[in-house]
């Protein structure tokens, strides 16, 4: 067997071809890999298309393809044609770089109506997907910086709020048990997968699927606690070993999801609603609903923690476990409830994330795990409200930063902020100032 380490075998062949092209490109001094009109010719899955300006083929236009962890660029040949081999089927985003077009020419549809240069293609029954571009003379209406800024704030808020749901659960679990739960990501994915199963595979009405999915997510939290974490606590396993157990659990669950649901991204019903315009902001009803649900859930948690006996007991356990136990609080029960709440919130967060991305995939939770950790740390480890604040900061920062930095680097900004905040304020935004060293 050839040694390939962690590289998926399917990748090897197209990659070798790609590298060959890359080397040629590099040695030619171009430094660009996009000088060919086709890349990855020998891949099974091909995205093809042509670019025509007023019926005439146009060469030298830069097209980029990204999706499913793949990115690639090509320039159209003199015949206006291009093709990109991709590693697998599914959805891809295609962008025509309008700065490589002749002056005054932009992307239109067949009838000459101006449309965006970015679009999505999805492989159908065949392993070839087509994406043709028509060009025409026109002017692209660009949104003003301010309008974009406002739009980003809303998108960021929406993302931050859904992060907050997962972050609050993680923070409550950390507060009461001291566990840094890496498998929280899989609890997020669980909610989305459960919804997918009931709403799509079983074709239940969406509202019923959502309720069942959230209930199941809570039950999942309960099962994890009763079946794994409580026995480990009983056994007296230390916090760092527990954290490593959660890493193992995360790996096992994640690949189990992939095993059961496959590697592709699937859509939930109702993901494509028309946008509503509020001045500069365009939001889908779904965005609004998502924000509303998140806010309600956060308020619900706040009410629980501040106003109910159980919530107070939860805070007491977070504060000092032995003291809480001594005062007659059933610590195990509190922790069990925290796991159920954490599971349900994570599941809800996953469902909202599935509409936000959009799509359900086996590793969607893992994609935002670090952001959830960043939010919890930013807000102050173990403080539930800090986690909400941290999440909103992370969500806003990620979206707003894309005004200046490339969107494939947007998570970098959030993680850099995390490190910088720790430098100045190690206890986090809302954390109590105490000896952390």
Site for another protein contains 234 (CB under 8 A): no
Give the position of tokens 């999505």. 120
Joined tokens for residue 386: 């800090």
Binding mask 350-369 for another protein (x = CB under 8 A): --------------------
Using CA atoms, how far residue 22 sits from 30, 187, 372, in Å, is 10, 40, 36
Among 263, 269, 273, 280, binds another protein (CB under 8 A): 263
Among 115, 244, 271, 321, binds another protein (CB under 8 A): 244
Residue partners of 74: CB distance under 8 A and separation at least 6: 34, 36, 37, 38, 39, 62, 63, 65, 82, 83, 84
Q: Which is nearer to another protein, 98 or 147 (CB)?
A: 98
Determine the Cα–Cα distance for residues 40 and 46; give it in Å rounded to an integer. Answer: 8
Q: Identify which range of 161-169, 194-202, 244-252, 294-302 contacts another protein by CB under 8 A.
A: 244-252
Question: Scanning residues 309 to 348, which ones bind another protein (CB under 8 A)?
Answer: 309, 312-313, 316, 320, 323-324, 326-329
Residue 121 host element (H or E): strand 118-122
Measured from the CB of residue 238, what is the shortest distance to another protein in angstroms? 5
Residue partners of 379: CB distance under 8 A and separation at least 6: 167, 171, 385, 386, 387, 388, 389, 390, 391, 428, 429, 430, 431
Q: Which is nearer to another protein, 243 or 271 (CB)?
A: 243
| Contact by Cβ (8 Å): 379, 385 | yes
Measured from the CB of residue 174, what is the shortest distance to another protein in angstroms? 9
Measured from the CB of residue 336, what is the shortest distance to another protein in angstroms? 18
Question: Scanning residues 187 to 226, which ones bind another protein (CB under 8 A)?
Answer: none
Measured from the CB of residue 286, what is the shortest distance to another protein in angstroms? 28
Q: Which is nearer to another protein, 277 or 435 (CB)?
A: 435
Query: Dihedral through CA 252, CA 301, CA 390, CA 374, nearest 10?
Result: -10
Measured from the CB of residue 394, what is the shortest distance to another protein in angstroms? 11
Determine the Cα–Cα distance for residues 421 and 424; give it in Å rounded to an integer. Answer: 5
Question: Scanning residues 371 to 430, which ones bind another protein (CB under 8 A)?
Answer: 373-374, 377, 381, 406, 408-409, 411-412, 415-416, 418-419, 422-423, 426
Number of residues that bind another protein (CB under 8 A): 84
Question: Scanning residues 53 to 92, which ones bind another protein (CB under 8 A)?
Answer: 64, 69-73
| Contact by Cβ (8 Å): 372, 184 | yes
Measured from the CB of residue 103, what is the shortest distance to another protein in angstroms? 25
Question: Scanning residues 99 to 118, which ones bind another protein (CB under 8 A)?
Answer: none
Measured from the CB of residue 128, what is the shortest distance to another protein in angstroms? 21
DSSP string, 285-331: HHHHHHHHHHHHHHHHHHHHHHHSHHHHHHHHHHH-HHHHHHTT--H
Among 32, 281, 289, 321, binds another protein (CB under 8 A): 32
Q: Which is nearer to another protein, 203 or 424 (CB)?
A: 424
Joined tokens for residue 178: 């001291």
Query: Dihedral through CA 343, CA 240, CA 175, CA 299, nearest 10?
Result: -30
Question: Scanning residues 137 to 176, which ones bind another protein (CB under 8 A)?
Answer: none
Q: Identify which range of 27-35, 55-63, 133-141, 218-226 contacts another protein by CB under 8 A.
A: 27-35
- What letters, b where the CB count within 10 A reaches 16 and e where it falls short, cover 264-278? bbbbbeeeeeeeeee
Measured from the CB of residue 248, what is the shortest distance to another protein in angstroms? 3
Measured from the CB of residue 255, what is the shortest distance to another protein in angstroms? 4
Joined tokens for residue 10: 């399917």
Q: Which is nearer to another protein, 199 or 378 (CB)?
A: 378
Q: Which is nearer to another protein, 345 or 371 (CB)?
A: 371
């Amino acid at each position: 067997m050839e040694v390939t380490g962690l590289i998926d075998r399917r990748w090897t062949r197209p990659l070798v071809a790609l590298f060959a092209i890359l080397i040629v490109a590099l040695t030619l001094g171009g430094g660009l890999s996009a000088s060919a009109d086709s890349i990855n010719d020998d891949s099974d899955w091909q995205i093809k298309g042509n670019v025509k300006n007023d019926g005439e083929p146009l060469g030298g236009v830069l097209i980029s393809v990204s999706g499913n962890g793949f990115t690639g660029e090509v320039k159209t040949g003199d015949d206006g044609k291009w093709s990109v081999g991709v590693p697998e089927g599914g959805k891809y985003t295609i962008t025509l770089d309008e700065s490589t077009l002749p002056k005054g020419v932009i992307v239109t549809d067949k009838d000459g109506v101006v449309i965006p240069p970015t679009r999505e293609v999805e492989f159908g029954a065949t392993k070839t997907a087509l994406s043709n571009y028509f060009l025409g003379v026109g002017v692209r209406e660009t949104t003003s910086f301010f309008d974009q800024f406002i739009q980003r704030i809303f998108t960021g808020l929406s993302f931050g709020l859904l992060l907050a749901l997962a972050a609050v659960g993680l923070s409550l679990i950390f507060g009461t048990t001291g566990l840094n739960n890496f498998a929280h990501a899989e609890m997020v994915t669980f909610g989305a997968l459960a919804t997918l199963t009931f709403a799509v595979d079983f074709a239940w009405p969406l509202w019923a699927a959502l309720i069942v999915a959230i209930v199941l997510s809570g039950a999942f939290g309960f099962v994890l606690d009763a079946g794994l974490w409580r026995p480990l606590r009983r056994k007296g396993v230390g916090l760092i070993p527990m954290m490593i157990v959660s890493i193992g659990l995360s790996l096992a669950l994640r690949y189990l999801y992939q095993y059961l649901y496959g590697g592709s991204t699937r859509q939930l019903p109702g993901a494509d609603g028309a946008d509503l315009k509020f001045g500069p902001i365009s939001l889908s009803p779904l965005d609004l609903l998502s924000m509303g649900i998140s806010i309600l859930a956060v308020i619900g948690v706040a009410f629980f923690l501040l106003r109910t006996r159980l919530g107070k007991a939860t805070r007491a356990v977070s504060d000092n476990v032995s003291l809480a136990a001594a005062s007659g609080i059933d610590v195990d029960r509190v922790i069990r409830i925290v796991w159920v709440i954490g599971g349900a919130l994570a599941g809800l967060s996953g469902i909202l994330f599935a509409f936000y991305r959009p799509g359900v995939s086996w590793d969607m939770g893992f994609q935002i795990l670090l952001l959830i950790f960043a939010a919890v740390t930013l807000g102050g480890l173990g403080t539930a409200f800090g986690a909400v604040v941290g999440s909103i900061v992370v969500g806003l920062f990620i979206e707003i930063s894309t005004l200046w930095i490339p969107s494939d680097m947007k998570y970098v900004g959030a993680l850099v902020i995390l490190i910088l905040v720790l430098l100045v304020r190690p206890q986090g935004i809302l954390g109590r100032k105490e000896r952390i060293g």
